[in-house]
Chains A and B, each alone.
Chain A
């Protein structure tokens, strides 16, 4: 599997560190109930099919990436920068 980083281009999977499902982007508000934190940290849809997860371009540009991919076929459908500022910069 190779990922096409919006900044660096197509790169070997080994350059990236896998973090997990993009649930991590939906952090509960400070006063949210414990169940919301449990959901955020532990519970997952874990789909067999299309998913969106977070990867860090550790051996490249150091950006966090949101990757749309298929967990059954390993096809990579889209790779976007996570940080909105960086996202704008990368797309101009």
Chain B
């Protein structure tokens, strides 16, 4: 079924009785050409591009819960291409271009909104660093504008510019940055993959990975054994557990990241604003809620809920930056399990087991990567070769020293 304005109109006339489920609910087959473990954003986009770009349609996505129940439905939806390092730059640039054509490609409204992202700076040194980052973005072919204080004031008059600890010197504006509706992205890719014949199998937890003579032969699941010569592990915060089923020990530590949303308000914040010095960022959803968050809770956790010190810290940072939000009521807070890598950058690579591939290490920034990650993981699984824009996301780069340390803080688990 194609979605369109006309379809919405005609369905409205006839009692909305013509809508059908957006994807099938198939039972697992005994064997597939390829299996993707994990039905989050990255797993679903991988399946979609395997089918669309490489014609592989006898494939399955195995999801232990329901589609979109993981981080893909828990993030704060920021989409941007403001990376600095070669290796990251071209990848996120590719991803943003895919975002820009995504709704037409998927025939699905993911509410991608390029409302502009502003990263604030608070000192001369930080201004230099942002100018340099902006130049890297422009060299990559993306957009960046350095705003001075008055430039920021014209766009964000409600900020507290005079705060004594972090007075606002200016900001880096990335006009093509913005937000999207997170679960719609999962649903859009799911529907697109299903339409091309991919089996999306929910309530199917992978409990073992079968390896014979160094080659993957299939997986064990709560719905029986399934054979496949190619298996992709795409399970975000659970990467260490699933990789351990094949005897692998990953450079990943799982941490919680919290987020918050207020009651719905009239439009008041038009952009995505990032206040890095205070570990705070905010945007307003199309429903009107202020969506905001901060930093990790900073210790390994699988609890999917955070602790109060970070709640307090985020609220304080928000009040410091924009005291006007003090009267908004917080509706909910939640946490997601982040697959943190030592250098803060991801992995899309083969593993030492033949036919077994892994896509992980997305840290707190894997939402914007959903299109390009699926694109590149599909390329890797179909051709056996890394995609050009993801060739530096290797699993062994920590051993060889080819780090992608975007923040420049070092290659250590507790620093990102």
Contact = CB atoms under 8 A, between A and B. Distances in A.
Contact of B241 (A18, A19, A21, A48): A48
Given A42-B398, A42-B411, A72 B307 contact: no
Given A13-B309, A20-B413, A38-B398, A43 B250 contact: yes
B240 A46 contact: yes
A43 B309 contact: no
Interface in B364-416: 398-399, 411-414
Nearest to B248: A43
Q: Do most interface residues of chain A lie in helix, strand or loop, or is the interface mixed?
A: mixed
B342 A41 contact: yes
Contacts of A47: 240
A74 B337 CA distance: 14
Interface of A: 1, 12-14, 18-21, 34-35, 38-39, 41-48, 51, 53, 55, 71-74
Contacts of B412: 20, 41
A53 B307 CA distance: 18
A71 B342 contact: no
B301 A71 contact: yes
Contacts of A51: 300
A13 B300 contact: no
Interface stretch (B92-100, B142-150, B251-259): B251-259
Given A20-B413, A43-B251, A46-B254, A71 B240 contact: no
B382 to A, nearest CB: 28
Contacts of B253: 20-21, 44, 46
Contacts of B250: 43-44, 46
Contacts of A34: 399
B414 A48 contact: no
Contact of A44 (B240, B301, B302, B307): B240
A53 B300 contact: yes
Contacts of A12: 309
